[in-house]
């Protein structure tokens, strides 16, 4: 599948999953190929201009991604990935502030739950969950069901201005720690 022209690989965590992006650049043939999770999504052969950009989308929300190809000296190139118009590093930093992610095992199955704090949308293993929210004495609770388990994301004040709201995941009433991002 991937040729010897592979020059870059990145992992991007979105709400509907973690995507591996790989880029092959044939500097003698002008070929450019983008793979997402091993599937070819862009192929251009015989590109005479060896520098430039390749733009494509990732995931169910069709998040915009761009690979930048820049010459740094002679026949040496530098490759960088932008997501939603931001460098990968800035995108990751922003996601760390706007989402909470939990990785857990439920009935022997791996489960990745993502809370989008700005919209309060909840995703589980790539599927947007139907949720119900309610105000409680110490904050809010967002409830959803997966298989036969009841999940609750509890949002309460951390008590510290710099930390803001703290989010906790409960499965069948038992709290779980958040994944450190």
**Beta-strand pair 127-128/121-124:** antiparallel
> Do the two domains 6-84 and 98-176 of this chain adopt the same fold?
yes
Q: Hey, where are the domains in the chain?
A: 6-84, 98-176
Q: pTM here?
A: 0.83
| pLDDT, one tens digit for every residue, the chain (181 residues) | 445 689 999 999 999 999 999 999 988 888 999 999 999 999 998 877 888 999 999 999 999 999 999 999 877 899 999 999 999 999 999 999 999 999 999 899 999 999 999 999 999 999 999 999 999 998 999 999 998 999 999 999 877 777 778 899 999 998 875 555 4
pLDDT at 28: 82
- CATH number corresponding to 6-84: 2.40.128.180
pLDDT at 179: 52
36 has which bridge partners? 21, 39
Calpha distance 56→42 (Å, rounded): 8
pLDDT at 1: 44
pLDDT at 171: 94
Buried/exposed 5-33: b ≥16 CB within 10 Å, e otherwise: eebbebebbbbbbebebbbbbbeeeebbb
pLDDT at 40: 96
Calpha distance 77→61 (Å, rounded): 30
CATH topology of domain 98-176: Lipocalin (2.40.128)
């Amino acid at each position: 599948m991937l040729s010897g022209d592979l020059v870059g690989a990145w992992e991007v965590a979105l709400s509907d999953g973690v995507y591996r992006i790989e880029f092959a650049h044939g500097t003698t043939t002008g070929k450019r190929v983008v793979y997402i999770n091993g599937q070819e999504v862009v192929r251009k052969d015989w590109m005479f201009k060896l520098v430039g950009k390749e733009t494509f989308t990732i995931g169910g929300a069709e998040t915009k991604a761009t690979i930048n190809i820049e010459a740094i000296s002679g026949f040496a190139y530098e490759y960088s990935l932008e997501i939603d118009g931001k460098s990968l590093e800035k995108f990751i930093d922003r996601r760390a502030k706007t989402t909470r992610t939990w990785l857990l095992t439920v009935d022997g199955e791996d489960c990745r739950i993502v809370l989008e704090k700005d919209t309060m949308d909840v995703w589980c293993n790539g599927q947007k969950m139907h949720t119900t929210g309610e105000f409680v004495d110490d904050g809010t609770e967002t409830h959803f069901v997966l298989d036969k388990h009841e999940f609750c994301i509890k949002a309460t004040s951390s008590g510290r201005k710099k930390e803001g709201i703290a989010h906790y995941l409960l499965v069948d009433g038992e709290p779980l720690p958040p994944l450190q991002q």
